[in-house]
Structure 1
Amino acid sequence: MKNLSHFLLSLAHRPSDGAFGFNTDIFATNLINLSVVLGVLIFFGKGVLSDLLDNRKQRILSTIRNSEELRAGALEQIEKARVRLRKVEREADEFRVNGYSEIERQKVNLINGAYKNLEQLENDKNESIPLEQQRAINQVQQRVFQQALKGALGTLNSCLNGELHLRTILANIGILDSMKEMTH
């Protein structure tokens, strides 16, 4: 590399006696240098640039195809989601309608059941009040009868002597005999 740069510098400082050399005047050589550089770039860089552009083009086309495939997949997913959404909305509407009717039916059943329970309680109350009244009356009558019987026995025991006792027994036997004859 050192030899090449030394060679190029030596050519640049040679007198122009018809020999080959570099012209260091930029304005005089600018158009020629540009033409040579462009020619070399076009000649050698044409294939490289064409390959780079083809590669870039292929990547862009591949990206576009991938994007189109993704877009198609996304559209398909969106359509499936819309179908599912419509189905769920229909089911929700059906559930709402059925749910409201079921709630109303249960409400009516509960109200009817409550009325039936109230009627049954009223009937039980109406049936149990006379029974309880009769039971209370029977208990009072029993107590009054027991008190009266105790009082009568006490009075009889205090007033009854042997003779009166014998007459009472004979009178009761007579009543029983007459009842016996009536039944035959």
Structure 2
Amino acid sequence: MSIIGTVFLLAAEAVAEAEPEGGFGLNVDILETNIINLGLLIGILFYFGRKVLSNTLNDRRSNIETEILTAEKQAKEAAAALSEAQKNLTQAQAEAKSLLAAAQENAELAKAAILERAEADVEKLKQAAARDLDTETERAIAELKQRVVSQALQKAEAQLSSGITDNAQQTLIDRSIALLGG
């Protein structure tokens, strides 16, 4: 029970003793009502209780001040951490943008290089196809020449084997001599 509760209890007992029949009245007899004892008790309680109450309130005040200072310190630390996190976020976003721009630039360069290489490959394929076509054409012409020569030789042999008339033989000899320069 607190000190003040004790004081009220004592006062209530004093009043109850003063009026035994159960009614309410005022007893002014100092000795019978123990007013002096109550006064001394209240004075002692006030004198010593003031120190205890003052110490308790001072302790409570210092605890509250300490908690407020701690809360303010934590709020400042949280604000600093938030500021740092926002700064880091801003830096990370800027770095992400620069990385994205660099990646896009690299992709464009790679695309241009691939297209250039593809064009060069297409040109090489065209040149190779043209060479193959020229080679094939030359081979076909050589084969045709060979067939024509072969057929001409067969025809000439056939005519020679059937015989040449004396006049044709003389004419052929004369032409050959004329061509040789004689």
Alpha-carbon offset, residue 91 of structure 1 = 2.8
Q: Which residue of 2 is the match for residue 32 of structure 1? A: 29
Q: 1:46 to 1:126 in 2, by over 3 A?
A: same
1:131 is paired with a residue whose SS is: helix
Q: Which residue of 2 is the match for residue 57 of structure 1? A: 54
Larger RCO (CA within 8 A; separation ≥ 6): 2
Q: Does 1:43 align with 2:40?
A: yes
Aligned mates of 1:72, 1:79 — CA distance in 2: 10
Aligned mates of 1:131, 1:66 — CA distance in 2: 94
Alpha-carbon offset, residue 125 of structure 1 = 0.7
Q: Does 1:74 align with 2:71?
A: yes
Q: Which residue of 2 is the match for residue 97 of structure 1? A: 94
Aligned mates of 1:99, 1:158 — CA distance in 2: 86
Structure 2 stretches lacking a partner, 5+ long = 1-17, 162-182
TM superposition score normalised by structure 1: 0.57
Measured against aligned partners, the alpha-carbon deviations of 1:43-90 in whole angstroms (never above 9, x if no partner) come to 134324543443233222111101111111221222222222222322
1:30 is paired with a residue whose SS is: coil
Q: 1:86 to 1:155 in 2, by over 3 A?
A: same
Alpha-carbon offset, residue 107 of structure 1 = 1.1
RMSD: 3.7
Aligned mates of 2:78, 2:67 — CA distance in 1: 16
Q: 1:83 to 1:53 in 2, by over 3 A?
A: same
Aligned mates of 1:28, 1:126 — CA distance in 2: 128
Q: Which residue of 2 is the match for residue 109 of structure 1? A: 106
Alpha-carbon offset, residue 160 of structure 1 = 5.6
TM superposition score normalised by structure 2: 0.57
Aligned mates of 2:53, 2:92 — CA distance in 1: 57
Q: 1:44 to 1:159 in 2, by over 3 A?
A: same
2:28 is paired with a residue whose SS is: helix
Aligned mates of 1:127, 1:139 — CA distance in 2: 18
Q: What count of residue pairs does the alignment treat as equivalent? A: 142
Aligned mates of 1:159, 1:74 — CA distance in 2: 123
1:54 is paired with a residue whose SS is: helix
Structure 1 stretches lacking a partner, 5+ long = 1-21, 165-184
1:103 is paired with a residue whose SS is: helix
1:135 is paired with a residue whose SS is: helix
